[in-house]
Amino acid sequence: MHNIYDAIPEDLKSEVFDLLLDSESVKVERIVSKGYKSPASGWYDQDSNEWVILLKGAAMLSFADKSSITLKQGDFFNIPAHKKHKVAWTDPDIETIWLAIHY
């Protein structure tokens, strides 16, 4: 048995991705960040849909169409395949823990 809140890395200079499940049709990962934002250039442009829920912390996602959303603990959001996005901000004071399901 495992716990989603166990083994949080101390060094969070960049986002940390932990693969929890991987199959042909679905991938589940835990993402941990603290005060992180994506580089100014470039976007995530994924071939699959991504459903995310914020389990702890707070974050803002920005999209290439100039829209953005702010997420707090318990908020979830579906990012369609090829919707270009990036992390604009995560809480600098506590770890932000995401659960991401790619399908």
Closest CA to 36 of 86, 2, 1, 78: 86
Q: By percentage, how much of the chain surpasses pLDDT 70?
A: 100
Give the tens place of pLDDT for each residue, 44-71.
Answer: 999 999 999 999 999 999 999 999 999 9
Query: pLDDT-based confidence at 14, cuts 50/70/90?
Result: confident
Bigger pLDDT: 10 vs 54: 54
Domain positions in the chain: 23-102
The pTM is what? 0.89
Q: Which residue has the tokens 């790619």?
A: 102
Instruction: Among 3.30.420.40, 3.40.50.620, 2.60.120.380, 2.60.120.10, name the CATH number for the domain at 23-102.
Output: 2.60.120.10
Which residue is listed with tokens 């604009």?
88
Give one word for 57, left, alpha or beta, with left for phi > 0 and alpha for psi -120 to 50.
left
Residue 86: Cβ within 10 Å count: 18
Residue 67: other Cβ atoms inside 10 A:
10
